[in-house]
Amino acid sequence: MLRALLISLSGNRRLRTFAENSPIGQRVSRRFVAGTTVEDALNATRAVNQRGMSVSVDNLGENVTNAEEAHQSAGLYHQLLDEITARGLNANISLKLTHMGLDVDPRVARELVWGLVQHAAQLNNFVRVDMEGSAYTQVTLDTVHELHRAYPGRVGAVIQAYMRRSQADVERLIAEGIRIRLCKGAYKEPPDLAFQKKSEVDANYVRLMEILLKSGIYHGIATHDERIIEQTKQFARAERISPEAFEFQMLYGIRRDLQEKILRQGWRMRVYIPFGTEWYPYLMRRLAERPANLFFILRNLFRG
């Protein structure tokens, strides 16, 4: 019930406008979004690196309405790639196809994303193409497959465990040696496309996690669910999979204590750092992925 409500609220434009402009909304964004500028993101990245963790940087935004916005977004990512290299940071970038103009002109989006992956390859870096709603699943995967064939090892995909098709998608990606970030998923999808019960989503997540860890490819297990994190560790130990063979991934500003605990135990951790003004849809969908995070945020919000 709470998950469905959060997904619904993520698309509410009136609430979004209020949240992004209200004092309490801005306070939330300061805690869970690195800031509004590239420099803010880079400073946050350095701080996380100093804690011994790697980073994936995301310029928040999606479904741009014109080509100019798409080119501006791509320009920020090019700047990020150059600055990450210049400053010696341990970080890569994450982007959405609709932020690159997929809804406006697929040719523009293709050109921009190819340019970014080519740039990343030149700098020995990596681009993660984020997954969006089911209307974009196939084009997103097709794009990743195509880019990987041109720039092997420089681009990765995101798989959402709540989608019924995900195991087949995972198997195709693994067959080509493509790196995957596994998350639960947080878009509103019908029952014929996505599991609706938390127990079903969790079970599929664990099933996919086991496939990923046994693949021999470096993947990201993206979750704040402590039970699943423990299951992942136990599976890795039982299968004698090295802690260096994969990484856990968690969100900036959420469960820093757990991030550090995982790191102390010898596992790898990557922190997903978002920046920009369009934080509301991002935060609401992340809460929908794990509604327990809502209580964590509320508890921390009023601590002062």
- Domains of the chain: which residue ranges? 2-11+50-299
Tokens of 245: 């063979």
> Does residue 10 have a pLDDT over 60?
no
Are β-strands 91-95 and 127-129 bridged in parallel, bridged antiparallel, or unpaired? parallel
Tokens of 56: 């994936």
So which residues are the catalytic ones?
130, 181
The answer to whether the predicted template modeling score (pTM) of the entire model surpasses 0.85 is yes
Structure confidence by residue, pLDDT tens digits, 132-171: 999 999 999 999 999 999 999 999 999 999 999 999 999 9
Give me the mean pLDDT over the 85-91 stretch: 98
Give me the mean pLDDT over the 8-32 stretch: 60
> Does residue 116 have a pLDDT over 60?
yes
Structure confidence by residue, pLDDT tens digits, 198-213: 999 999 999 999 999 9
Query: Distance between CA atoms of 298 and 301, rounded to whole angstroms?
Result: 5
pLDDT > 70 in the chain, percent: 82
Other residues' Cβ atoms within 10 Å of the Cβ of residue 235: 15
Structure confidence by residue, pLDDT tens digits, 33-59: 898 899 999 999 999 999 999 999 999
Architecture of the CATH domain 2-11+50-299: Alpha-Beta Barrel (3.20)
Structure confidence by residue, pLDDT tens digits, 222-274: 999 999 999 999 999 999 999 999 999 999 988 999 999 999 999 999 999 99
